[in-house]
Structure 1
Amino acid sequence: MSSNRTIRPLSFNIVGESLTIKGFPTTRWEIVDLASGRHGPWTLDLQLYMTERAAYRFNLTSRSPRLFVRAGEAGASPHPAAISASQDVAAGWLDGEHRVLEADMPLAVQAWIEAYVAHHGEAPEEGRKKKRKGAGRAREIEA
């Protein structure tokens, strides 16, 4: 069940800049005018998930916290469909050959995510399980 504590609408615009790279024309797309609310040409709901708390913390402690927008297939005009504050989610989108655009995370969104993580607690460390002695190794057979 979601509540307004886990969902925040974000509005933005996408602008393209035509350029030539190694003789080939291309367009570089960029997110601009990112702000809370439903007032821009594009609006997506940023939803926070308990399972992504470690990714949110990693993003917040980076030098430049980012938001990631899944914007359709690479090569086509961008069509924003989802937004996330998790680099893990964005990496999954890239693996699916989607275009992912990045934007600086506004301070208000950083504070909101920080409050979410503080309220729900840090995600537990995903440590490795301790192996039994000799497990997974070939055993020597004495002749």
Structure 2
Amino acid sequence: MTGSSSRRPLSFALAGESQRIKGFTATRWRIVELRLDDSGPWTLELQLYLTERAAYRFNLSGGVPRLFVRAGDAGERPRPSAITASQDVAAAWLDGEQQVLEVTMPLAIQAWLEAYLARHGEASDEGRNKKRKGAGRAREMSQ
């Protein structure tokens, strides 16, 4: 895969552990064995979007950068369907009552994201609120 690409396959497994909370048992799911290939039981393509550059920078600047996985309806067994490095997109998924799992972003993905931002320029936070109608996030949300 070339360094200029805006897409990367990531594979992972899911692990569930039972937790007892106020007398109820619930399963807490987490992402394990995250790999930079398509060999795992779950494979999703991380796609970068120019309209999310400010969100990517915010994530990278926040101490421990994270990746977010949309995993189906809240309260159900996870069925991963999309992955993003944008906390804004993850928040929109949560607003839609989707289950969102998060995992520490591997250093190789951090470097790839930094190179993407260097190649395409930084976006100002101001630009995040002034998108063209229908531009950017709609494609990502429909995946």
Place the TM-score, normalised by the shorter chain, in its bin. Answer: 0.7 to 0.9
* 1:123 equivalenced with 2:123 (yes/no): yes
Higher percent of residues as helix = 2
Cα distance between partner residues in 1 of 2:88 and 2:125:
16
Paired residues for 1:1-143 under 5 Å: 5-126=5-126
Deviations 1:43-88 (A, max 9, x none): 0000000000000000001111000000000111000000000000
Aligned to 1:134: none
- How far residue 121 of structure 1 moved from its aligned partner, in angstroms, is 0.3
The two structures have a TM-score, normalised by structure 1, of 0.85
Provide closer, same or farther for how the CA distance between residues 31 and 71 of structure 1 changes in structure 2, counting only shifts above 3 A.
Answer: same
Q: C-alpha separation between the residues in 1 aligned to 2:11 and 2:4?
A: 16
Secondary structure at the aligned position of 2:79 is classed as: coil
Rounded Cα–Cα distance in structure 2 between residues aligned with 1:125 and 1:49: 15
Q: CA deviation at 1:4?
A: 6.4
Amino acid at match of 1:55: A
Q: CA deviation at 1:19?
A: 1.3
Q: Aligned letter for 1:93?
A: W
SS at match of 1:114: helix
Q: Matched residue of 1:111: which SS? A: helix
User: Residue 125 and residue 102 in structure 1: after superposition, are their counterparts in 2 closer, same or farther (change >3 A)?
Assistant: closer
Q: State the 4+ residue runs in structure 1 displaced beyond 2 angstroms.
A: none
Q: In 1, are the aligned partners of 2:4 and 2:116 still within 8 Å (CA)?
A: no
Partner SS, residue 126 of structure 2? coil
- 8 Å Cα contact 2:66-2:102 kept in structure 1: yes
Deviation at residue 125 of structure 1 after TM alignment: 3.8
TM-score (norm 2): 0.85
CA RMSD of aligned residues (A): 1.6
CA distance in 1, matches of 2:76, 2:125: 39
Question: Which of the pair has more CA radius of gyration?
Answer: 1
* AA in 2 matched with 1:50: L
How many residue pairs match? The answer is: 126
